[in-house]
Amino acid sequence: MKQFENLYIIDQEAIKEGQESKFGYFPDERKILDHIKYGLIVLDKHSGPTSHEIVSIVKKILKLNKAGHSGTLDPNVTGILPIALAKATKVLSILLESSKTYICNLHSAESKDITEWEKILKEYIDEIYQVPPLKSNVVKKLRKRRIYNIEILDVIDKQILLKIDCESGTYIRTLCVDLGKSIGSASYMRELRRIKTGPFHENQGVTLHQLFDAYESYKEVGDEEGLRKIIQPMENAITNVPKVVIRLNAIDPISHGTDLFVAGVIAYSDFNTGEKIAILSPKGELIGLGTSFRSSKAFINGDTGKIVHPEKIFVERNQFPKYQK
């Protein structure tokens, strides 16, 4: 299973037992209404509407009361806007914190040699300080963000095409202005496209028109194929998140908010104390998100006691067998 790749297996028999049980669903095999309810859409936003307006359109198309996006794109900015649906909106906390990749067209008032730009850009591949632009709706205070990489894709006279890998919450508009100040030529962001958010890339993107057509096909003739291709299981959002797989009889206590103990874990990935952890069923179903009390070394050291404190629960209560000592 994709969710179990690179995991350390503690109890293979318990995984097999859970996968063969009647409880829960493999993420790709949920009934269509549950597939929607626990799904997300990697939307390719077009220029014009706000991110909030895009979410409203998605809710209207799918007849949903609840949906949310993973990070605002300005109206004139295009690109990847993951949208979580109904029960899956709790997973947005992971995507909001995920790194982003942008393609930016920077306009400089003066033509500069590419070697000058390369020198300046290297100085910005680090932690930087920014004040949000006036147009933003957040508090205008100095904040620290990390730029992982900036690559020059093309230079045509005063236009510089950049690929920027950065921490979530980085203001690219502000970055362009600051780059101009550093190189001695007033600069601004002319165009911007987000091509990656966390594990999602633009080659996975779908349009509102495609979503509308797929839903109409489902409503009119019962064809689920289009919706299943467009709406992904919410579990795809936690690809880069540390994980624990828990015993079948540990799921019900977790659904009631009980802390997870070491004995309830049957597979795990490496993690540190205080990290965000995805809690999975033996079928790979996302049960909850929580924070680790201690590192994964607890499994190697033979420790007992609590290992994860659940904070966001995705499954309904009383849907899994009761815990019995």
Tell me which residues are annotated as active site.
74
Of the candidates 317, 175, 185, 160, the residue with the CA atom closest to the CA atom of residue 252: 317
Q: Residue 82 corresponds to which tokens in the numbers above?
A: 């993951």
Q: List the one residue out of 69, 71, 64, 70 whose CA is nearest residue 86.
A: 64
181 phi and psi angles, rounded to 5 deg: -65, -40
What's the number of CA atoms in the CB half-sphere (13 Å) around residue 2? 12
- What DSSP designation does 263 have? G
- CA triple 110-144-270, angle to 5 deg: 125
Per DSSP, 97 falls in state T
Are 287 and 281 in contact by the 8 Å Cβ rule? The answer is yes
Q: Which residues contact 163 (CB under 8 A, 6 or more apart)?
A: 101, 102, 103, 104, 149, 150, 151, 153
Phi-psi bin for 251: left (phi > 0), alpha (psi -120 to 50), beta? alpha
Cβ-based neighbours of 79, under 8 Å, separated by 6 or more: 44, 45, 73, 102, 192, 193, 194, 195, 202, 205
Residue with tokens 């008032």, as numbered in its chain: 109
Sign for the CA dihedral angle at 148, 193, 43, 74 comes to positive
Position 129, amino acid: Y
Q: Is 17 helix (H, G, I), strand (E, B) or coil?
A: helix
Task: Look up residue 166 and give its two tokens.
Answer: 């950065």
- Torsion-angle region of residue 6: left (phi > 0), alpha (psi -120 to 50) or beta? left
Residues in the chain: 325
